[in-house]
Structure 1
Amino acid sequence: MQHNAETMTGVIVPSIHSIQYLRALAASAVVCFHVSEQFDGPFSVGAAGVDVFFVISGFIMWVTTASRPADPVGFIGRRITRIVPLYWIVTFMTAAAMLIKPQFFYDQLLSPLSLGRSLFFLPLLQDGALHPVVLQGWTLSYEMMFYLVFALTLFLGERWRLGVLVGSLTIIVALHFVLPEGYARSFTSPIVLEFAAGVILARLWLQDVRLSFGLALTLLGGGFLLLAVIPLVDADMPRVLRWGIPAMLIVAGAVFAERARPFRPVALFSFLGEASYSIYLWHALVAVAVTGITLRLGVLPALQPALIVVLSLVFSAMLYLVVEKPLIRALHPSRPKGIKRGKETPLTQAADT
């Protein structure tokens, strides 16, 4: 049977173990992508882990706030205390490493301006893309923008909230096609629609929509199949279509398959899901250190990519236990245990319920 958990409001909500599994998978895929990129490998599809994260983020933010008293200020406060402390730690550590070993960071830029703007999710543009000190931190700029829009819709009644939220995200994307190249346009990427997709899935899930187990698995498998096939058909397809649609199918298939046939979670996968924010933030810095060690030890080049992936995952997960988990306990002492409906995203660990 599917386990239930009680939120701080006393509402009994079901756990969604598949969300944690997908977070673990998405974080691992991004690690593989970056290591593959480092060695000019073929695993570019691993970057789609970010798109899965975005869909999950929309899903969980809607589920955690539905049918509960609106608290926009509290919502933003929880998001900030959940995301910012670890991000700042990793950013300062990365900046220190760049100063000590700049040759390990290629064309990455470090200046007081780039550091300051990175800390506040307004990184400098480089080649038309957001370019924070922690390179993968560009996704958090979109997350924070989504949280801001989401918080504003919490001032509305539930009757209007979904339409206004999805409409606002659609308008933001529409601006992408009329704004000139520049900083404002960089925040209007169509990837923002992946948050909206997650919100819509959450609305359907909360309305107790049910799919047969076979149909849900078809959606899940279809999503993975599209990830593999679309680049072969049209490698230049816009990201929101190339990876966003498969990500939506994967999340939908996973949560509705679990609803149709609940399962007992595997501890390792659940742990990696809990550690996914740390894995996502730390892995690039850890991979630099591991690469240096493998080169010093003379590890065979053919073995280096797999070894770097495994050790990056292991050490980043350890940093979750050593750094992030104590931060969570200190900043959210009343946070319930377990993986609840009230948990968070891909990139930003579980939300406070």
Structure 2
Amino acid sequence: MTSIHSIQYLRGLAACAVVCFHVSEQFGGPFNVGAAGVDVFFVISGFIMWVTTAGRTADPWRFMGRRITRIVPLYWIVTLLTVAGILIKPQFFYGHFFSVANFVGSLFFLPVLQEGALHPIVIQGWTLCYEMMFYLVFTLVLFLSERWRFGVLVSALVAIVALHFVLPAGYAQAFTDPVVIEFAAGVAVGRLWLQGARLPLGVALAMVVLGFLLLAAGPLFDAGMARALRWGVPAALIVAGAVFAERARPFKPAALPTFLGDASYSIYLWHVVVGVLATGVVLRIGIPSALQPATILVATVALSAMLYLIVEKPLIGLLHPQRPKSVVKASNAAAAGAAERGRLQA
């Protein structure tokens, strides 16, 4: 099976962009657009879920089980360590909110609401609340015949967003935020990709460039513009352009961006806790203030990626053991001529 290397690259880039955003925020910098890495993740998630399930015998329970075992264990570990950090050094965890109710709610993706927004113990974990909701909807759709799935899935996601504008404030309105439509965009790109659609290399690259230009131009737009428009549309252009550019001109992947893609979930989850530790060390050893942001950024990404090797990768091996090679080869032979799916675990 052929890997979609551009997806791995974008996952690593998105995770590092979010780290840049939080470091910039810590020092009062201007890199708010780094938060759009989340929107890229949402589009990629829709793409991956569609590509890795289409054309296969549906097993909704197995799908949801694998999503839970892939996402939850590491998230719980980071949540527990964040709670410990808050209790030991609360002054280092500015903006975090700890209570027993929020701790329990965070573990089950129902954290407290602050100003109508989800606010779990691990502050960046709000995105996982939407991911888990998307997985739930996707699981239900897998019970349908394959010919109905795309239409029902996209319609359901659009309906969820439509409800946002009529529901009263509370969890229902929070979980129907328009950002949900970004998953549908990824699903649509994935369907086109599996159908064998192609774009000229120049057009695909132009889409990627346009997406990044729109992100850079974000401050010029109305501050009240919905995130799904301001950052979701550029994210969809970037993901679509990248996968179709790779189809037009495949390339041999480089080791570092591929590794960062593999480690992207760990980088995303660990970076706030690790960033707090890195900041403490940087301040203690007296690094000049001008070098502090870059030092903290590099240290945070490096240490978070290391935790992928130390914690997440062993967890994956334990919970998602690889099939014997003979079975894999037989499966691959049987799947010859089927759509490419690649190494696309989210």
Normalising by structure 2, report the TM-score: 0.94
The aligned counterpart of 2:332 is: none
Matched, 1:36 2:19: no
Give the partner amino acid of 1:300.
P
Q: Which moved more, 1:161-170 or 1:102-111?
A: 102-111
- Does the CA-based 8 Å contact 2:82-2:121 persist in structure 1? yes
Q: Aligned with 1:269: secondary structure?
A: helix
The aligned counterpart of 1:21 is: 9
Q: Aligned with 1:278: secondary structure?
A: helix
- Does the CA-based 8 Å contact 2:11-2:41 persist in structure 1? yes
Matched, 1:326 2:314: yes
The aligned counterpart of 1:9 is: none
Q: Which runs of 4+ in 1 moved over 2 A?
A: 233-236, 340-344
Aligned length: 332
The 2-side partners of 1:286 and 1:160 are apart by 44
Correspondence for 1:207 among 172, 183, 195: 195
Q: How does 1:167-246 map to 2 (within 5 A)?
A: 167-246=155-234
The 2-side partners of 1:341 and 1:309 are apart by 33
The aligned counterpart of 1:63 is: 51
- Does the CA-based 8 Å contact 1:231-1:242 persist in structure 2? no
Give the partner amino acid of 2:316.
I
Matched, 1:166 2:154: yes
Shift of 1:236: 2.6
The 2-side partners of 1:198 and 1:190 are apart by 14
Q: Aligned with 1:296: secondary structure?
A: helix
Q: Aligned with 1:258: secondary structure?
A: helix
The 2-side partners of 1:136 and 1:296 are apart by 26
Correspondence for 2:87 among 82, 93, 99: 99
The aligned counterpart of 2:237 is: 249
Deviations 1:205-256 (A, max 9, x none): 0000000000000001000011011322333311000000000000000000
Q: Aligned with 1:262: secondary structure?
A: coil
Structural RMSD (CA): 1.3
Shift of 1:109: 1.4
Give the partner amino acid of 1:178.
V
Matched, 1:286 2:309: no
Matched, 1:304 2:295: no
The 2-side partners of 1:146 and 1:300 are apart by 44
- Does the CA-based 8 Å contact 1:55-1:198 persist in structure 2? yes
Shift of 1:335: 6.1
- Does the CA-based 8 Å contact 2:4-2:342 persist in structure 1? no
The aligned counterpart of 2:331 is: none
Matched, 1:341 2:329: no
Normalising by structure 1, report the TM-score: 0.92
Q: Which moved more, 1:204-213 or 1:327-336?
A: 327-336
Shift of 1:105: 1.0
Give the partner amino acid of 1:139.
T
Would the alpha carbon gap of residues 110 and 230 (structure 1) be closer, same or farther in structure 2, given more than 3 Å must change?
A: closer
The aligned counterpart of 2:103 is: 115
Deviations 1:142-172 (A, max 9, x none): 0000000000000111111001000000110
Q: Aligned with 1:65: secondary structure?
A: coil
Shift of 1:342: 4.8
Q: Aligned with 1:271: secondary structure?
A: helix
Give the partner amino acid of 2:72.
V
- Does the CA-based 8 Å contact 1:150-1:165 persist in structure 2? yes
- Does the CA-based 8 Å contact 1:60-1:343 persist in structure 2? no
- Does the CA-based 8 Å contact 2:11-2:261 persist in structure 1? yes
Where does the alignment leave 5 or more consecutive residues of structure 1 unmatched? 6-13, 345-349
Would the alpha carbon gap of residues 233 and 109 (structure 1) be closer, same or farther in structure 2, given more than 3 Å must change?
A: closer
Correspondence for 1:83 among 71, 74, 82: 71
Give the partner amino acid of 1:290.
A
Give the partner amino acid of 1:325.
K
Correspondence for 1:315 among 297, 303, 309: 303
- Does the CA-based 8 Å contact 1:130-1:186 persist in structure 2? yes
The aligned counterpart of 1:128 is: 116
The 1-side partners of 2:128 and 2:279 are apart by 26
Give the partner amino acid of 1:320.
Y
The 2-side partners of 1:167 and 1:249 are apart by 21
Give the partner amino acid of 1:252.
A
- Does the CA-based 8 Å contact 2:117-2:174 persist in structure 1? yes
- Does the CA-based 8 Å contact 1:64-1:343 persist in structure 2? no
Q: Percent identity?
A: 71
The 1-side partners of 2:237 and 2:97 are apart by 37
Shift of 1:341: 2.2
Q: Aligned with 1:195: secondary structure?
A: helix
- Does the CA-based 8 Å contact 1:90-1:134 persist in structure 2? yes
